[in-house]
Amino acid sequence: MASDFKDLKIWQEAYRLSLAVYKITAKFPTEEKFSLVDQLRRSSISVAANIAESAGRYHGKDKINLLIIARGSICETRSHLLIALGLKYLSKEKSEELENDYEILSKQTNSFIGFLKKQKSTNQLTNQLTN
């Protein structure tokens, strides 16, 4: 497992996507600054932040819960991006690119959650066998 959150591939991707969201929202209309722009930026940052925080937790249950929150923030970000597309703040191409990237990140996050759950059950079994 990664020794630092920055080594996690899912964090690196969430970070990259957050920067992309900041870049595209800079071009949104000014009247959206405190509404859609703010919501979109916050949800994209939440993905990376929760993945990072999960890496700092010791217990598997805590790690998994934070990754589930990150996965929820991915869905929230995807929803905001669809609204931005509907309002024509995003091109169809850019929207599809980000949608695809966030969908892949969601699957990677699910895989990591599955890995941690399996690791947790293996550790519990080992503890039962050694006690």
Domain 5-130 carries which CATH code? 1.20.1440.60
Whether the full predicted model's pTM is greater than 0.85, yes or no, is yes
Highest mean predicted confidence (pLDDT) among 1-5, 75-79, 118-122, 124-128: 75-79
Residue ranges of domains in the chain: 5-130
Separation of alpha carbons 40 and 18, rounded Å: 9
- Crossing angle of the two packed helices 36-55 and 9-25, in degrees rounded to 10: 170
Separation of alpha carbons 24 and 14, rounded Å: 15
Q: pLDDT: is 129 or 95 the higher one?
A: 95
pLDDT higher than threshold 80 for residue 1 = no
Name the token pair of 34. 């405190």
Q: pLDDT tens across 75-111, in order?
A: 999 999 999 999 999 999 999 999 999 999 999 999 9
